[in-house]
Structure 1
Amino acid sequence: MSNKPKLDDTDRAILLQLSEDGRLSNTELARRVGLTPAPCLRRVQRLERDGVIAGYRAVLDPTAAGRPFEVVVAVEITFNDRQTVVDFEAAITSYDEVTEVLRLFGLPDYYLRVNVKDSAAYEGFIMNKLSTLKAVNRIISHQNMKTLKKTT
């Protein structure tokens, strides 16, 4: 038996509305999904309790936040023993410049999203942080030209 929550069309509508604007009042959310406020609130609370809604956060505009230079970095590591992976992941997740980390099957081992002020700041990040990690074998950088879609 699966512990996966059962979602109906109303739950999906609530999730869509909240993913577009997590600051909607319950009254406005209820109006948009065709419910009265009390049942809407109960559904949102159930979705939170079941872990479908994992949290709420502000989505920052990188340019307005002073970090418009975005690079997707492919990283291959040398050793795949447990401690090397743990140490590497602890280091990269602690860096403020790294805004997203994906561990992959196959190569590369990781994709990092890095947001910094400019190319000089990116070079500093690579030279003073990422390349100093003993696990790093290869770094391939891809500067973002344009973000076409980004969902939360």
Structure 2
Amino acid sequence: MDRIDSLLLTRLQKDASVSVGDLADQVGVSKSACWRRIQKLEESGVIRGRVTLLDPVALGLTLTVFVSVRTNQHNLEWATQFREVVEEIPGVMEVHRLGGDVDYLIKAVVPDMPGYDALYQQLIKADLFDVTASFVMETIKQTSELPLN
């Protein structure tokens, strides 16, 4: 990956809907060279996809919750069951397996507290040991842009 690829990725992270022609002009390459570079970045897995970011509040999903999960079952069968449960729950945005005191951290969006309770009722189907929720009061920074130097 060179400087041009880095510039392409920086601009695509800000606005993936920009035309290839405009993007080529912005980074100083021809339209065909720009398109080839984008295709290579997609084929190599650097670009995983292109999405439209939605405003959860505008869609009535006003409550963001981080759910800390601890388990006392560290085996493949439980982990598979947990993965299946969280993949089926609408509103679960991210699930991370952690090292340390907490085994998993889940980020979810729901409309309100009853929405969280419904999510919780689905989550406990995974036979959890301990669940703790933290509710977002204010988002100070949120980005999907990775730092490219």
Shift of 1:146: 2.2
> Which residue is equivalent to 2:134?
142
Identity of aligned residues (%): 30
Q: TM-score, normalised by structure 2?
A: 0.90
Unaligned runs of 5+ in 1: 1-6
CA contact (8 A) 1:93 1:101 kept: no
Establish whether residue 78 from structure 1 lines up as the match of residue 57 from structure 2. no
List per-residue Cα deviations over 1:53-87 (Å, max 9, x = no partner).
01111212111222121001111112011110011
Detail structure 1 runs of 4+ shifted over 6 Å in the superposition: none
Unaligned runs of 5+ in 2: none
Aligned residues: 144
Give the Cα separation in 2 of the matches to 1:109 and 1:83. 16
Give the Cα separation in 2 of the matches to 1:30 and 1:67. 37
Which SS does the other structure have where 1:32 is aligned? helix
- Read off the aligned partner of 2:144 and give its amino acid letter: T
Larger relative contact order (CA 8 Å, sep ≥ 6) = 2
Give the Cα separation in 1 of the matches to 2:113 and 2:27. 45
> Which residue is equivalent to 2:101?
107
Give the Cα separation in 2 of the matches to 1:122 and 1:76. 18
> Which residue is equivalent to 1:4?
none
CA RMSD of aligned residues (A): 1.3
Shift of 1:124: 2.4
Establish whether residue 129 from structure 1 lines up as the match of residue 129 from structure 2. no
List per-residue Cα deviations over 1:30-53 (Å, max 9, x = no partner).
111121211111110110111110
